[in-house]
Structures are given as C-alpha cells and as structure tokens.
Structure 1
Amino acid sequence: MISWNRVSSAARRSVRGRALSTAAAAALLAGGMTLLGPAGSAQAAASDCEGGKNGFIDISDNAYDTAARQVTLWSEGINISVQYGNIRGVQRGWALIAGDVQPGNQVWLDWTRDGGRTWIQCGPFTSRGGENKTSAAQRTSSDANWKFRACGSTRSGIHCTDPWW
C-alpha cells in the first residue's frame, strides 16, 4: 500500500535516485521549471499502480482522449499531458508522453487526494523503443482536493503540467 505521509525534504530532492548538479538545477529553475513540486511528494514504483493496485488500471500506450493540461517541448517535438476520458465506463485521468519520444524518456502521473499537500507519483513508465507511453489511469472525482498532474523526463530534464481538476 502506498503511504500518504509526508516524506523528508531530502527524499523530495531526489528524482528516482538521480541527483542533479547544483548548476543544472539552478539553470532549470532560472528557466521557470519546478523540479520538486509541492511539499509532501511521495514516490511509488510503476508496479504500485499496475494491475488494479490502489485503484489504478492499466491502459494502452496508444490511449488518448481529452488533454486537460499539457507541456509542449517544441525543441524536442514532445508533448506531456494529463489526459482524461471514459475507460471501461468510468471517467479516468492518466499521463501521456507523445510525439518524437526517444528510448528512455519517461512519464508518470502525480495524484493527490488532499488538494496538493501530499502527492503520490505513479510511475515512472519508460519508453523502451521511442514509442508514446502512458501511465496507469485513476478515476477522476468532483472533489476539489482530488488532482492530477503529468510529468515526464526527457533529454532536457523533468517537466510537469499544472495540476488539473
């Protein structure tokens, strides 16, 4: 089961165990990109979100519907988006990385049930052959505290959409 407890600030600074150099982090932040997101981010492995675990369902990597939020990396020809649509009779949200995706590019879905005080990271899901890639999908809710954001890792760094819902 995924813990919703706050994690240490040191853990929030870690992106799947890869530390960014101070110079690279400063350059990314100067460019207006947020690396860490809101306080309380938690990580989960892709396996914590697959096969129906924690309310997530597996979907096709070709799944796309309505883009709620997106980040377009024009120089890379890549789009990272929060998608939503009706899957198996239920409206769900998921993350999608599409376009000129390269092998090793990753996508994940951040999800909160408490308005962003704590987040869970579902993924990352890695593109092996340069194909589009989705995260697992989670049902949406009309509760204002229930939000999603899509994040991806490309050659230029980590990029996240604004929260949606």
Structure 2
Amino acid sequence: MLHRIRRRGLVLALATGLLTAQVMVAGASPAAATPQECERGANGFVDIPDTLRGTQAPVGPVSIFGRTATLYYGRIGGVTRGWAHLGGDTLWGDSVWMDWTRDGGRTWIQCGPFEVSSGGQTKTSAAQRTSSDANWRFRACLRWGRHEPAAIKCTDWW
C-alpha cells in the first residue's frame, strides 16, 4: 500500500512538472511593456475593441481550460495590423498579451497583459502593424487566472 502511495506521488510530481514545462515559454526573456506602453498610439500600437476579430494568422490558437488565445490580423485605419484575442469561458483575472519581436524571436516586447474584468468577457491586446520583414513577428499568449504556478500558453511565432 505504501509503495502504491509513493508511486502515485511520484506520478503526480512528474505530471505537474511536465505540465509546468509545457506551459512555460522557452527562450529569451521578454522586455515587458506595460499596457500603457502599448495603448493610444505608443510605440506604434493602436487601441482596438475587445471584441474585434480579423483573419486568423496561420498559427493555431492555444487553449487552457476553455479559454483560447488567437492571433488575428486585419486592416485597421488603413494599415494591416496583428493582435491577440482572448475568448472562450473566461473568468475574472484571465489575461491576454501579444509578444512582438523584431529579431525573429531572440528578444521580444510583451505588450500587456490585458486582464478580463468579468466572466465571459473577450479581451484583445493593442494592435501593431505587420511587416514583410521575416524578423518582424508576433505571437498571442494567455494566462489562466491569477494562479501560481502560472498556467501560460503562447501560439507559435507568425
């Protein structure tokens, strides 16, 4: 019986470690930008409605417990821009942000997080212009609530 309990504990510890490793973002550390550094025209970002959807970028959305982060792009004010969108079964404290890189993902700026203030609400990041430069890329990320350790997932770079 004690052997079974130890094995369950080991399996639980390994599963927790694998889950944590899966939801952590590997690679370089971001330079975090506050929401204010990504709003109202700061650093080339523009504000958009929290319900806005466009064309889904050719990277799959990511989901955690019924919440989904999707990377969209579309014409805003005559300029093609990309943004992150959070939808699904959201609850207070869930958040979304968009990582933006100009060097192919070695370093990036984290624009956000932008937090949901009530259940069922959708949320977007600010939008940034797209570019034909292969190093100019985006990804959408979500965080499930305010839980620690954080459950975070990001789309692939686009």
Pair in the same fold by TM > 0.5:
yes
- Range class of TM-score, shorter chain: 0.7 to 0.9
Equivalent position of 1:52 in the other structure: 41
Q: Which runs of 5+ in 1 are unaligned?
A: 1-21
Q: Cα deviation per residue 1:25-48 (whole Å; 9 max; x = unaligned)?
A: 723245xx2513321421111111
Match of 2:75, SS state, is: strand
> How many equivalent pairs are there?
139
Equivalent position of 2:155 in the other structure: 161
Q: Which amino acid aligns with 1:36?
A: V
Does the CA contact (< 8 Å) of 2:45 and 2:126 recur in 1?
Answer: yes
Cα 1:25–1:47 shift into 2, 3 Å? farther
Larger Rg: 2
Mapping of 1:22-37 within 5 angstroms?
A: 26-30=17-21, 33-37=22-26
Equivalent position of 2:85 in the other structure: 96
Q: CA deviation at 1:64?
A: 0.4
**Pair 1:147-2:137 in alignment:** yes
The two structures, once aligned, show a CA RMSD in angstroms of 2.0
Equivalent position of 1:65 in the other structure: 54
Cα 1:24–1:124 shift into 2, 3 Å? farther
Taking the aligned partners of 1:37 and 1:120, their CA distance within structure 2 comes to 15
- Which of structure 1's runs of 4+ aligned residues deviate more than 4 A? 22-25
Q: Cα deviation per residue 1:88-140 (whole Å; 9 max; x = unaligned)?
A: 11100000110111111000000000111111000000000120000000000
Taking the aligned partners of 1:37 and 1:143, their CA distance within structure 2 comes to 23
Q: Which runs of 5+ in 2 are unaligned?
A: 1-12
Give the TM-score normalised by structure 1: 0.77
Q: Cα deviation per residue 1:6-54 (whole Å; 9 max; x = unaligned)?
A: xxxxxxxxxxxxxxxx989723245xx2513321421111111011000
Match of 1:48, SS state, is: helix
Match of 1:162, SS state, is: coil
Identical-pair percentage: 53
**Pair 1:125-2:119 in alignment:** no
Give the TM-score normalised by structure 2: 0.81
